[in-house]
């Protein structure tokens, strides 16, 4: 499936700072995000706890100068998920959400996810993984549009997830 995004290459990423936590809390509270991410206060506390840790890259995403999303990637060696254990050393997993309601459903998720995955591959990362809940159909479709290849769904404590991998970019 060829990738086609009107937003391709249009995203800017900047490191998350402590000053961004109130904005992140606001974004996590919108229904489309909290439905999949859970309690906003707990999530902000987890993200705040990871600030400054090595091995995790947390960023705010902007398009046309407007910040609207969050993305993080981290080393899969820290994951306990069995479906990640056989992946090449140096592989990274990504989590993300769009925090501005008006930007949801406009192709941004697949656009900035693909841009970030390509950056990681260009930096020498052998594989990028993501594992949305199978019930999150919007996310699953966006990740496939970004070039991620879905594997067999797996039951986890969080529910049924679909491991997806991005290795070689599709044209």
Segments making up each domain of the chain, as ranges: 11-126
Strands (E) located in 46-163: 56-63, 66-75, 92-98, 128-130, 149-150, 154-156, 159-161
CATH 3.40.630.30 given to domain 11-126: yes
Q: How confident is the model at residue 4 (pLDDT cuts 50, 70, 90)?
A: very low
Whole-angstrom Cα distance, residue 21 to residue 120? 25
Q: Give every CB contact of residue 5 below 8 A, 6+ residues apart in sequence.
A: 107, 110, 111, 114, 145
Half-sphere exposure of 124 (CA within 13 A, CB side): 2
Whole-angstrom Cα distance, residue 132 to residue 23? 23
* Predicted structure pTM score: 0.90
Tokens of 54: 């090595």
Whole-angstrom Cα distance, residue 61 to residue 58? 10
Tokens of 89: 């050393």
**Tens of pLDDT, residues 67-92:** 999 999 999 887 888 888 889 999 99
**Tens of pLDDT, residues 105-162:** 888 989 999 999 999 999 999 999 999 999 999 999 999 999 999 999 999 988 999 9
Nearest one of 92, 134, 90, 133 to 113, comparing CA atoms: 92
In terms of C-beta density within 10 A (0-12 exposed, 13-18 middle, 19 or more buried), how is residue 18 classed? exposed
Assign 3-state DSSP to the chain and report helix, strand, coil percentages, each to 5: 35, 25, 35
Give the residue, 3 or 117, on which the prediction is more confident: 117
Tokens of 83: 């479906």
**Which residue matches tokens 């902007």?**
62
């Amino acid at each position: 499936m060829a990738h086609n995004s009107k937003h391709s290459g249009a995203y800017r990423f900047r490191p998350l700072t402590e000053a961004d936590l109130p904005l992140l809390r606001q974004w996590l509270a919108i229904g489309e995000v909290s439905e999949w991410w859970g309690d906003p206060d707990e999530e902000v506390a987890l993200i705040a706890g990871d600030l400054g840790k090595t091995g995790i890259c947390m960023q705010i995403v902007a398009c046309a100068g407007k910040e609207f999303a969050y993305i993080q990637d981290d080393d899969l060696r820290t994951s306990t998920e069995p479906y990640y254990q056989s992946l090449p050393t140096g592989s990274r997993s990504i989590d993300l959400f769009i925090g501005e309601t008006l930007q949801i459903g406009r192709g941004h998720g697949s656009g900035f996810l693909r841009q970030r995955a390509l950056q990681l591959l260009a930096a020498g990362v052998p594989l990028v993984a993501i594992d949305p809940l199978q019930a999150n159909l919007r996310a699953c479709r966006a990740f496939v549009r970004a070039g991620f290849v879905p594997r067999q769904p797996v039951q986890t404590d969080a529910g049924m997830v679909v491991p997806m991998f991005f290795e070689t970019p599709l044209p």
